[in-house]
A and B are shown apart, each in its own frame.
Chain A
């Protein structure tokens, strides 16, 4: 039983990182209906920015986290302006292929020698690991920090989207782009903001991933990116609480499979969950299925 609860806590930690990435996918998809495949690589860049902030410049953890978030936000906005904006009216598949192109570019460009290099790097822990023992359960301060940062960021996002004027504009654009434009909302500005926020969350996710699973490399973003995206779909894409729920389920499924079945099968089980959910509830767990009208 203790073992099971221990695994649940580990699953929660992984789910929290997935949730931070999944939120970016869901925000972007909600607004421009684009599967932003480059998002996983923004996550990778976030991890590296945090890495350099901690090792080269010896900055404390909160500042490193902030630098990664701001850096990723800028990168996200630049990617949108350069690669996706010219395709605003192109067929959707063209945007998707461009997103894949950006993703491949970031991965391969970052593994060039003058950038981050192709090798695995050990992520530094900016503070020593302390394990708290609660009647058999082991909880490390890393887990507490990961969860706390993720929860705080999610609450901030929820408040931003629900309570501020920009957040309201974001929801309006997601609901109906053309009508929103007629109401005087600057679409391009909102899309930039969305990319910025999504990428900042991914950057934070990257740093947290780095301190929790301390090894990084330029291709580290592919699998977490895919899983986070799947998590967003699982919960109902375009819905913020759905992304968190889906990420939690993905994290749990993965950790519990590693613990009880086999760690080599964990990806298969996680995606099997997705297939089953999609077949039973095609719009995702929290999604509303829409009736198609002619």
Chain B
């Protein structure tokens, strides 16, 4: 059976690469001809950022099975850390963003490691509550950050961040995130992560170091959030602690569950839909019932959960995201 795949695999790879490039060129062209206006460009970038963030939570919750309600905290840590660095360097060059993102990823990774090591001993709901508590503590610290570092602005919000994020960066990082996650979950590490989700005790019994893999999944997922946060900070050039509160963690959780847990395709589609629906309803709905936007959205959510509790994709993937073994049989 594998011989067929051996021929098909490279072809599919080329097709996928072509698709990625084509999509980029099309959107870039539409932007340069002003068919997509700057407001809409920002929404597209925001969708990319939400995809990265959701993939991170999907790795933590969907693949590794660790319930986290504090994802926005790492998003915020990444956002503030990168914004602070680029402000201190203060050179308006696109490449500086990379430095910011590097710091964002590093700091959120380190904090995830320090906090994850003790709290990942907790299980299911208790872990959720502990991460929720962590998220609220981080938000309060953001609120009071100006007492230590005045530029962070505390509850007044942080101003004067260089708008370095553009569509190309977001696109690049979204694609890299997808490729990295895809390769990760189809590696030995990925199988270990999934085994932890399926049955922690059984995984431990067959020699999987569950603490190590739980922490690893949590740290990588948080790094995703940190990078997304770094991109976010330089997209809107304004940060406020309320952008990283409990409800933002919930938003990401909704995307992951709606898309389908442990489905990369699901997270991509759900994040995109979520961003465009919320913004789209703003455009479509007449002025008089604009307030109803936030009433319709939770109702949709409840209906989807009642009629399709496994999410839009379940555990399925797009064709190009299905892994096929290289054949070892000669």
Is A278 an interface residue when CB atoms closer than 8 A count as contact? Answer: yes
Is B185 an interface residue when CB atoms closer than 8 A count as contact? Answer: no
Instruction: Encode contact with B along A90-110: 1 for CB under 8 Å, 0 otherwise.
Output: 110111011011111100110
Count of interface residues, chain B, beta-carbon cutoff 8 Å: 43
Chain A contacts of B121 at CB under 8 A? 279, 282
B255 to chain A, nearest CB (A): 11
Asked if A104 and B201 sit within 8 Å, CB to CB, the answer is no
Q: Which single member of A102, A230, A264 contacts B129 (CB below 8 Å)?
A: A230
Tell me the complex Cα distance, A262–B306, Å.
44
Is B11 an interface residue when CB atoms closer than 8 A count as contact? Answer: no
Is B207 an interface residue when CB atoms closer than 8 A count as contact? Answer: no
Is A187 an interface residue when CB atoms closer than 8 A count as contact? Answer: no
Chain B at the A interface: SS class:
helix
Is B28 an interface residue when CB atoms closer than 8 A count as contact? Answer: no
Q: Which single member of B130, B132, B302 contacts A105 (CB below 8 Å)?
A: B302
Is A159 an interface residue when CB atoms closer than 8 A count as contact? Answer: no
Asked if B119 and A98 sit within 8 Å, CB to CB, the answer is no
Tell me the complex Cα distance, A58–B85, Å.
58
Asked if B309 and A272 sit within 8 Å, CB to CB, the answer is no
Tell me the complex Cα distance, A271–B137, Å.
7
Chain B contacts of A87 at CB under 8 A? 305-306, 309
Asked if A101 and B136 sit within 8 Å, CB to CB, the answer is no
- Interface segment, one of B75-83, B167-175, B227-235, B292-300: B292-300
B111-155 CB contacts (< 8 Å) to partner A: 118-119, 121-123, 125-126, 128-130, 132-134, 136-137, 140-141, 143-144, 155
Is B24 an interface residue when CB atoms closer than 8 A count as contact? Answer: no
Tell me the complex Cα distance, A112–B302, Å.
19
Asked if A108 and B295 sit within 8 Å, CB to CB, the answer is yes
Count of interface residues, chain A, beta-carbon cutoff 8 Å: 43
Which residues of B does A touch, CB under 8 Å?
A: 118-119, 121-123, 125-126, 128-130, 132-134, 136-137, 140-141, 143-144, 155, 201-202, 246-247, 250, 253-254, 257-258, 261, 291-292, 294-295, 297-299, 301-302, 305-306, 309-310
Closest 10 CB pairs of A and B: A94-B309, A271-B133, A104-B298, A101-B301, A268-B140, A108-B294, A90-B309, A105-B298, A101-B302, A101-B298
Other than A90-B309, A271-B133, give 20 A-B pairs with Cβ distance below 8 A: A87-B305, A94-B305, A101-B299, A101-B301, A104-B297, A104-B298, A109-B295, A112-B292, A112-B295, A222-B247, A229-B129, A264-B155, A265-B144, A267-B136, A268-B137, A271-B136, A271-B137, A279-B121, A282-B123, A294-B201
